[in-house]
Structure 1
Amino acid sequence: MNESPCPAENARFVAMIVPLMMTEVVATLGLVMLFAALRQLAVDLGSAAAAGWLVTAFILSSAVGGALLGRVGDVVGRRRVLLAVLAAAVIGSLIGCFTRSAGPLILARTLQGLAGASMPLCIGLVRERAPPALVPRGIGLISATASISAGLGLLVGGVIVDLFDWQAVFTVLAILSVLALLGVWRLVAADPPRGSTRIEDVVGGLLFAPGIVGLLLGIEEIGHSGMADPRNWLWIVVSLALLAIWVWRELTVAQPLISVRLLLVPQIALANLALVFAALGAFQSGQMMAQFGQQPPSSGAGLGLSATGAAMLLTPINIAAGFIYARFAGLVARHGPRTMALLGGLLMAASFTGLVLVHGSVVVVEVWLAIQMVGLGMVFVTVPVVVVSACPPERVSEATGMIVVIRSTAMAIGAQVVATLLSTPGAGTHASEGTWRIVFAWGAITALAVAIVALRLPSRLQIEKAPDVP
């Protein structure tokens, strides 16, 4: 068992975790708040496609930055890289404040998206600086911040756009980024001296970036132009070939940029596999409810809500769930990852099964969604805790950065699966009752897969003390 921290260690932990949570606010709001401005942006930029690229640029930058910058942070210092990431977010936000052209705005969103590397860097700092007993709590607080920010982001973004203009979103993000930058600079101790770690085969490692970008773009384009378009499959095939070359090259060097061997450690591989199944199903609830909530009941299924009403199905639940995520981290430490992930998977499966059977009223749907968010929260917190406990302290940000990549890829695939299921030939404008039952059943099946994988996770958590930081 890990020893309880002393009051001085608790105080240092609080001083460190506050700016790290602020950093996660910047990363999450940077993505979510702009959703509320997409309609205005489509008008100002001349097309919905141009506005959509502002979201795509952020997601791609986050996915690549999470892995690559996480590893760079492991090598040269996580605080140093986190400051650079926040500085990039400040610059990107300022660019967005002073331009209304598509090109500069895409650059701005790419720079803002680098804040997607903040979670692996923050988790790495918690692992490096906090006493072992406080590591799960720190991960839980960071995860809770992401959930609460995601829940509030669309609402806050909508208020800002209604009262001002979409550029005000960039102004708010600039202010928040500066505050987070100052907080990390003032309250997080300087990085300790690093050893002589050497990264071999940087060129081979960098094959990862175009490979994952091309894969995500190919999957996204299938949603726009359909599966019959050969260009989409060309994107995917070439990207998979690049990733295969990347895997082969990284397995042949002693100090790769991103360690494939680390991802193959059973505990890490199983935790990521559980996350994949959750991303394929439960993470698609936003897409499901946006459509099911707005579909008129006269079509045979749906709740007949406005766009705002459909968005509010998940917003209060996300916020409420976020406040108990830190508690989940403590339960992972007390009862073990296997129990928590298993219970989380079963709760998600129960909620989706309930939606298959009964989904005719807002109240009933809200109950199922609340159960689902509790289960998803258990899995969402358990996965990084397991990964952190299983990998060497000097590679924590790299390993948790790959969580971002794996989740983004699985979510993109899951979104296309759900969209395909909802596009049943002959269903008309709206999906039928039977189609929605199939979609909810998909969620139940993926949740049961999470529970099955959870059975192979460790029954107890053990986090060793990281080397002391001067």
Structure 2
Amino acid sequence: MNTPESPAEKPHPTAVIATLAFGGTVAAIMQTLVTPLIAELPQILDTPASNAAWVITVTLLVAGVAVPIAGRLGDLLGKRTMLLACTVPLMAGSVICALATSVVPMIVGRGMQGLGMGIVPLGIAMLRDVVPPARLSGAIALVSASMGIGGGLGLPIASAVAEYTSWRVLFWGAAVLAAVVGTLIWTFVPATPAAARGQRFDLPGALGLAVGLVSLLLAISKGADWGWASGTTLGLFALAVVALGTWGWWETRTTDPLVDLRTTARPRVLMTNIASVFVGVGMYAQMLVFPQLLQLPEATGYGLGQSMLAAGLWMAPGGLTMMVISPLGGKLIDSRGPKFTLATGALVIAVGYGLALVLMGTALGLMITGIVISSGVALAYGSMPALIMGAVPMSETAAANGFNTLMRSLGTTIGSAVIGVVLAQMTMNLGGVTLASENGFRVALVLGGAVCLVSALVAAFIPAARPATGQDTPGAQPESAPAQPVEA
């Protein structure tokens, strides 16, 4: 009999890859699940709009803290154990939301859903343990892109459910999906030895990172509402600086750190994480701009007057495109290397934003540009884990991927705040209602393309991996095969 994290029977790679990709997609869907309900939440929960906004914010905050911690626990306790553990709050949180009649239980349930985002980095790290080398790059690309796939598909699915059934069905459906993910992981994902078994969990590091991240993400996500110069926002930024500075000091001195900052400071890892932030900003810009352009009334002169469901359907091909492009991105990684693939993906996203400036006048044009942008996101997201895992030892695989996932999420948070400020400042008046102006949307599109050009530039300067020799750091690989561990 196998122990919980001892080697199991040889797994079927296709089943493992499909399970982990589906799990990542479901976890990502949870983040966009309530997007169609934003305007209705105050009435649904009988609460002011400021309180209802926490239904969205809390998921972001909890996910930001949970992702790196889940990654480290995966290295310590075993990845399959933590994958199964992540499905529990996904399912329980969904049930709590489905039964909620007020804002407090809804916020609690949404926070629990945020805990499930750890599935993505854990799944990527698990692939390194169980998937044959010939299929590894494509598998990593697909599971990594599941964050974007879930976001792209979640909106039209949630819109359809919200428009034709009760909003509670959204959460009951989410609970069923989480249960299915748990069942599939239990059935198809094998137990593997914990790479860092015997090391201690860094509780002070986890608490310090939690305080720092919550303060930073809260200030970024709520700064526009509270005022960027308000005492609350500035105080949170100051607390984030102090907490993260103290956390960094501790992590460089403790024996078993939550995140090995010496590893993350390696140029290859550091520059990949920096590029990840910019790609995250670029990806999220279109997710904020396109739905508004599609749904604003035609009387504005630039709105396309689509229903919520129609807008979601116009955007759905982008999510489907990621599923198709991700395996092709894996082949590109194998042939040209992850550095080339990341730079190419960022450039493709930038091209998509350039096309959007020309084609934003029609729903078909936005769909086409969404497909181009999604293709670039699939290439970029698929290459990041390959770069990271080619530069870290096996014992830090899940933790390093968790930190990279956090950097992507930080990028989407920054993107949301920046684009939100632009659209709030550049407005027009239509029948007494203040709406974002056409120039505001154009500036947002230019910013989305510009940050992706910066990401491509950063990617161009990522150092190539050293040739694999017995003297190299475990995990370092040639550029053409970035994700395979090397025995030291």
Fold similarity call, TM over 0.5: yes
Residue 4 of structure 1 corresponds to none
Residue 448 of structure 1 corresponds to 453
Residue 51 of structure 1 corresponds to 52
2:373 is aligned with 1:372: yes
Partner of 1:247, secondary structure, is helix
Residues 119/298 of structure 1: CA separation in 2 closer, same or farther (3 Å cut): same
Report matched runs for 1:346-385 at 5 Å: 346-357=347-358, 359-385=360-386
Residues 394/85 of structure 1: CA separation in 2 closer, same or farther (3 Å cut): same
Residue 241 of structure 2 corresponds to 240
Report matched runs for 1:34-433 at 5 Å: 34-47=34-47, 48-192=49-193, 196-199=197-200, 202-296=203-297, 299=300, 301-357=302-358, 359-424=360-425, 427-428=428-429, 429-433=434-438
Question: Number of matched residues?
Answer: 460
Cα shift at 1:192:
2.1
Q: Is the 8 A contact 1:129 1:466 kept in 2?
A: no
Q: Which runs of 5+ in 1 are unaligned?
A: 1-8
Counterpart-to-counterpart distance in 1, 2:369 and 2:427: 29
Residue 481 of structure 2 corresponds to 462
Q: Is the 8 A contact 1:41 1:166 kept in 2?
A: no
Residues 161/419 of structure 1: CA separation in 2 closer, same or farther (3 Å cut): closer
2:24 is aligned with 1:24: yes
2:442 is aligned with 1:437: yes
Counterpart-to-counterpart distance in 1, 2:369 and 2:462: 26
Q: Which moved more, 1:428-437 or 1:94-103?
A: 428-437
Q: Is the 8 A contact 1:349 1:447 kept in 2?
A: yes
Cα shift at 1:107:
1.9
Q: What does the per-residue CA deviation read over 1:39-75, in whole Å, with 9 as the maximum and x for residues that have no partner?
A: 4442121133333222222222211111011101111
Counterpart-to-counterpart distance in 1, 2:309 and 2:241: 39
Q: Which moved more, 1:369-378 or 1:355-364?
A: 355-364
Residue 13 of structure 2 corresponds to 13
Cα shift at 1:191:
3.1
Q: Is the 8 A contact 1:337 1:458 kept in 2?
A: no
Q: What does the per-residue CA deviation read over 1:323-353, in whole Å, with 9 as the maximum and x for residues that have no partner?
A: 2212212211211123222222222222323
Counterpart-to-counterpart distance in 2, 1:75 and 1:12: 25
Q: Is the 8 A contact 2:128 2:483 kept in 1?
A: no
Q: Is the 8 A contact 2:120 2:147 kept in 1?
A: no
Partner of 1:283, secondary structure, is helix
Q: How high is the sequence identity, in percent, across the aligned residues?
A: 27
Residues 172/129 of structure 1: CA separation in 2 closer, same or farther (3 Å cut): same
Cα shift at 1:398:
0.7
Cα shift at 1:243:
0.7
Residues 185/245 of structure 1: CA separation in 2 closer, same or farther (3 Å cut): same
Counterpart-to-counterpart distance in 1, 2:144 and 2:335: 18
Q: Is the 8 A contact 1:281 1:446 kept in 2?
A: yes
Cα shift at 1:309:
4.0
Q: Is the 8 A contact 2:314 2:364 kept in 1?
A: no
Q: What does the per-residue CA deviation read over 1:96-142, in whole Å, with 9 as the maximum and x for residues that have no partner?
A: 34332322222222222111000011111111222233221221221
Counterpart-to-counterpart distance in 1, 2:145 and 2:283: 17
Counterpart-to-counterpart distance in 1, 2:104 and 2:486: 45
Q: Is the 8 A contact 1:131 1:465 kept in 2?
A: no
Q: Is the 8 A contact 1:344 1:378 kept in 2?
A: yes
Counterpart-to-counterpart distance in 2, 1:363 and 1:159: 20
Which amino acid is 1:225 matched to? W
Residues 75/426 of structure 1: CA separation in 2 closer, same or farther (3 Å cut): closer
Q: Which runs of 5+ in 2 are unaligned?
A: 1-8, 465-478
Which amino acid is 2:78 matched to? G
Which amino acid is 1:220 matched to? S
Cα shift at 1:208:
0.2
Q: Which moved more, 1:298-307 or 1:217-226?
A: 298-307
Q: What does the per-residue CA deviation read over 1:197-228, in whole Å, with 9 as the maximum and x for residues that have no partner?
A: 42375314420011101111111211223223
Q: Is the 8 A contact 2:295 2:307 kept in 1?
A: yes
Which amino acid is 2:85 matched to? A
Counterpart-to-counterpart distance in 1, 2:38 and 2:372: 31
Partner of 2:179, secondary structure, is helix
Q: Is the 8 A contact 1:202 1:256 kept in 2?
A: no
Counterpart-to-counterpart distance in 2, 1:133 and 1:67: 28
Residues 183/328 of structure 1: CA separation in 2 closer, same or farther (3 Å cut): same
What root-mean-square deviation, in Å, do the aligned CA atoms of Structure 1 and Structure 2 show?
A: 2.6
Residues 410/93 of structure 1: CA separation in 2 closer, same or farther (3 Å cut): same
Which amino acid is 2:34 matched to? L
Cα shift at 1:256:
0.8
Which amino acid is 2:480 matched to? L
Cα shift at 1:369:
3.0
Which amino acid is 1:99 matched to? A
Q: Is the 8 A contact 1:92 1:109 kept in 2?
A: yes
